Amino acid sequence: PLISWWGGVQMGPPDPILGVTEAFKRDTNPKKMNLGVGAYRDDHGKPFVLSCVRKAEELITAKHMDKEYLPIGGLGDFSKCCAQLALGADSEVLKSSRNITVQTISGTGSLRIGANFLARFHGGPRDVYLPKPSWGNHTPIFRDAGMQLKAYRYYDPSTCGFDFKGALDDISKIPEQSVIMLHACAHNPTGVDPKPEQWKEISDLVKKRNLLVFFDMAYQGFASGDIDRDAWAVRYFIEQGHNILLSQSFAKNMGLYGERVGGFTVVCNDTEEAKRVESQLKILIRPIYSNPPMNGARIAATILNTPDLRSLWLEEVHFMANRIIKMREQLVAGLKKEGSSHNWQHVIDQIGMFCFTGLKPEQVERLTKEFSVYMTKDGRISMAGVTSANVGYLAHGIHAVTK
């Protein structure tokens, strides 16, 4: 045939987040900064391979393991410690074995499996309520799986903080049995997290509305530097009786980005229900990729299950989180030094890898075009891309486009 099957296929738009890196790569300005994708960089702007990861890799190499297929649900050792990390080792859920946790293709894969599971088995409304704004990829993931997206107020642009009243107001109107997505910590893209007292009220309200809670926890350890503190909301909700769905990613907190390490958990009523749910998750997973990749999960499990490596990991996570916090402080100091009259307190108050600067799209465009500072159009910057060497330049650029 002389005509292509694909004549009618349109050019797809570049991914808003990953597309930023592509554009950054093409830029020849020596001062360019990539504040797009959320990947941690050290103070020299270089990717950081954690020592605990290198040590784990050495241990694994020495064991000369085979490469046989993992079970559909992944490496058992990994699923177990993945759940423990999120829920806490003394969690009643784990003791009663009423959770099912499967290894997934990082956070995206976990959310997708969860979305597919909901689409097939959730008896409630098709609607998934996301905070406004949320990670850009949440919407197409749920939509592709057959769910519908709605939103609840979350970010308050006037304060660059949490719109607590707006959130409660919107949540109180969500139809019963709908799914509500909550970012466990270090909200992406805003960096704005509810305070514990606020989480408590949200939990009560969600319970009252009989909503199904889906937590996305991609930054455990990365937010405050303390893994237990960052998992507080997840554990609190479970204690309060919510049988949650939970997605976890080890891309950031272990720096295992490209190894695709994640977990998906369903907290069930009892073991029997967990077994039924597990059987259905396997049926969902098999026609997508059969079984998950070994390498990253093996590294993560080795770290979590080897006391020395686990302690080392906790130190390194703490270190990464602290560097981010320092950069926040230095950016605000830099802006003050530039003579900015704006209130930049939110840069310090926000938590985790991202900062919602409050910059408008036109200002973002100028920052990119005139200063070669690459970020997403919503004004989100990845603090991980900021270093002591370039924080001054960034402050200068931001001041220039906002004065």
Partner 1 sequence: MSVFCEVPQAAPVAVFKLSQDFNNDQFPNKVNLGVGAYRTDEGQPWVLPVVKKVEKIIVQDGSLNHEYLPILGLPDFRSSASKIALGEDSPAIQENRVGAVQCLGGTGALKMGAEFLSRFYNGNKNTKTPIYVSAPTWENHNAVFANAGFEDVRPYKYWDAENRGLDFAGFLEDLEVSCFLTGLNGVRLYFGHDSFSLGVNSTCSIFCLQQSCPEHSVFVLHACAHNPTGTDPTQEQWMQIAEVMMRRKLFVFFDSAYQGFASGCLDKDAWAVRYFVSVGFEMFCAQSFSKNFGLYNERVGNLTIVARDADNLKRVLSQMEKIVRTTWSNPPSQGARIVSITLNSPELFTEWKDNVKTMAGRVLMMRAQLKAKLQGLGTPGTWEHITEQIGMFSFTGLNSKQVEYMVKERHVYLMASGRINMCGLTSSNINYVAESIHEAVTRVQ
Our CB check for partner 1 shows the closer of 70 and 234 to be: 70
| Stated length of the chain | 403
Our CB check for partner 1 shows the closer of 156 and 273 to be: 273
Our CB check for partner 1 shows the closer of 84 and 177 to be: 177
Question: Which 8-state DSSP code applies to residue 342?
Answer: S
Give the active site residue among 135, 199, 313, 344: 135
| Closest-CA residue to 213 (of 265, 143, 285, 249) | 265
Strand ranges in 15-137 using DSSP code E only, listed in sequence order: 33-34, 99-105, 127-132
Query: Minimum CB separation from partner 1 for residue 270, in Å?
Result: 9
Contacts 24+ apart (CB under 8 A), 40-45: 40/252, 40/255, 40/320, 40/353, 40/384, 41/384, 41/385, 41/387, 42/323, 42/387, 43/323, 43/387, 43/388, 43/389, 44/387, 44/389, 45/385, 45/387, 45/389, 45/390
| Closest-CA residue to 191 (of 164, 155, 227) | 155
Q: Verify whether residue 275 is a known catalytic residue.
A: no
Q: Verify whether residue 95 is a known catalytic residue.
A: no
Give the active site residue among 163, 170, 193, 216: 216
Give the active site residue among 32, 170, 252, 344: 252
Query: Minimum CB separation from partner 1 for residue 27, in Å?
Result: 17
Our CB check for partner 1 shows the closer of 53 and 167 to be: 53
Alpha-helix residue ranges (DSSP H) falling in 218-293? 227-230, 232-239, 271-289
Query: Minimum CB separation from partner 1 for residue 114, in Å?
Result: 13
Query: Minimum CB separation from partner 1 for residue 340, in Å?
Result: 33
| Closest-CA residue to 324 (of 398, 396, 253) | 253
Query: Minimum CB separation from partner 1 for residue 171, in Å?
Result: 18
Our CB check for partner 1 shows the closer of 133 and 293 to be: 293
Q: Verify whether residue 216 is a known catalytic residue.
A: yes
Locate tokens 């058992």: which residue? 76
Q: Which residues are catalytic?
A: 135, 216, 252
